[in-house]
Chain A
Amino acid sequence: EVQLVESGGGLVQPGGSLRLSCAASGFTFSDYSMNWVRQAPGKGLEWISYISSTSTTIYYADSVKGRFTVSRDNAKNSLYLQMNSLRDEDTAVFYCARDGYAVAGIFDYWGQGTLVTVSS
């Protein structure tokens, strides 16, 4: 069974940092590209980052570029999101999502999400 489990969320002050993790199981993690998608409270979905299976290709949304860094460790079946210079508007549930069907942009499995609250 495919499972994605995020962790690392919590309360952080504006300007602070946080590192999210996503532990993958039930599939060959190194075969799949991965993404981070976030959802502000009561709002819609926002894609924020993509990383290819071998980390050779990485993309970010403009809203997080220069502040967030995505990485992965295929040996540990884990995806990460380092978030720096956090702002109030970064408050959201952060989901990791797998690119399925051998193409980018079809998120066939999602984690349950981890809540990040940026507030003083």
Chain B
Amino acid sequence: EIVLTQSPATLSLSPGERATLSCRASQSVSSYLVWYQQKPGQAPRLLIYDASNRAAGIPARFSGTGSGTDFTLTISSLEPEDFAVYYCQQRTVWPPLTFGGGTKVEIK
């Protein structure tokens, strides 16, 4: 089973700042890494698939990079609605499909 480790667990930033979230895999997942956003009381929302492809309707301030074992989700300038929990997920070696533990982006 591929283990995904997200860091930091919590990121405290102000609106307008840049957010950089990390996801590290226990073995290579090639580029098959997905990012989701989840707000309290809501279902997750697909942001980025296969490391760098924005899903439909996702603003350009969200970008993903990486391959192999190290991946980054960047939010270029935080909007108030971006404060949420972000999860990475791999789809290379499965079952099981696995998620990281999440990074909470909170208002500083």
Contacts and interface: CB of A to CB of B under 8 A. Distances in A.
Nearest to A62: B96
Interface stretch (B17-25, B42-50, B63-71): B42-50
Interface in B58-91: 87, 89-91
A26 interface: no
Interface string A27-52: 00000000101000000111100100
Q: Main SS of the interface on chain B?
A: loop
Contacts of B42: 112
A60 B43 contact: no
A80 interface: no
Closest 7 A/B residue pairs (Cβ)? A105-B91, A110-B43, A59-B95, A47-B97, A45-B99, A106-B49, A61-B96
Interface of B: 32, 34, 36, 38, 42-46, 49-50, 55-56, 87, 89-91, 94-102
Interface of A: 35, 37, 44-47, 50, 59-62, 95, 100-101, 103-108, 110-113
